[in-house]
Amino acid sequence: MRAVPSTLVATELFGHEKGAFTGATQRRLGRFELADGGTIFLDEVGELAVDIQSTVLRVLQERQFERVGGSDPVSVDVRILSATNRDLRSAAEAGTFRRDLFYRLEVFPIQMPALRERCDDIPLLTEHFVGRCAGKVGKTFNAIDRKTLELPAGLHVAWQHSRTSEYGRACCGLVRRRHVFHRRNMAQGRCHA
């Protein structure tokens, strides 16, 4: 979220009023308003700009916010689940993340070990991501050979990054690459199937 301007993040999370900025031709509800009565997931919460952190804190404390360009309070009842790969406690101590927001979010922390520390999960994750991505390119998937799962070719780089999402993207990339090469080889008469 660091690369996204905070005004766009604010519009996405809190919505905007008609005329709030050039191109705002109608009122738009934000993610918090759409999640009213339910749960919202904030991914990479550690990357939120300080002004957005303040508004999220207000939602947690007062259960209210204003849409971008608005002045009327919008009341919501939402549960927040958040994730980050940053050490928010250290960021709060360093002053780069609001300490009060950190304590509000840290009600029930779940520490997920890095993927490199969960090697037993790799075969299951590989089968899941390969199966999901194979379906997207119109292929069926039955199983992956055990030898292949011992060290998925080309995936060791994402695995070393330790994030399951990066590993999943790497798996999907391999499936797509294999699909492209397979189609090219068939078109050139190099394989049968």
Distance of CA 140 to the CA centre of its chain: 26
Q: Give the pLDDT of residue 123.
A: 77
Of residues 163, 76, 81, 63, the one with CA closest to residue 114 = 163
pLDDT at residue 158 in the model: 47
Express each pLDDT in 156-190 by its tens digit: 544 555 566 676 777 777 777 766 655 554 444 44
Give residue 147's pLDDT band: very low, low, confident or very high (50, 70, 90).
Answer: low
Distance CA 81, CA 28 (A): 23
Determine the pLDDT at residue 6.
73
Count of other CB atoms within 10 angstroms of residue 120: 6
Average pLDDT over residues 120-138: 76
First to last CA, the chain: 44
Residue 56 and residue 71: Cα distance in Å, rounded? Answer: 17
pLDDT tens column, 82-123: 999 889 999 999 999 999 999 999 999 888 887 777 777 877
pLDDT tens profile 8-40:
899 999 999 999 998 889 999 999 999 999 999
Instruction: Work out the burial of residue 97: count CB atoms within 10 Å of its CB; fewer than 13 is exposed, 13-18 middle, 19 or more buried.
Output: buried
Alpha carbon dihedral 16, 32, 60, 75, in 10-degree steps, equals 70
Mean pLDDT estimate for the chain: 80
Instruction: Parse the chain into domains and list their residue ranges.
Output: 6-105, 115-187
Query: Are 62 and 100 spatial neighbours (Cβ–Cβ below 8 Å)?
Result: no
CATH class of 6-105: alpha beta
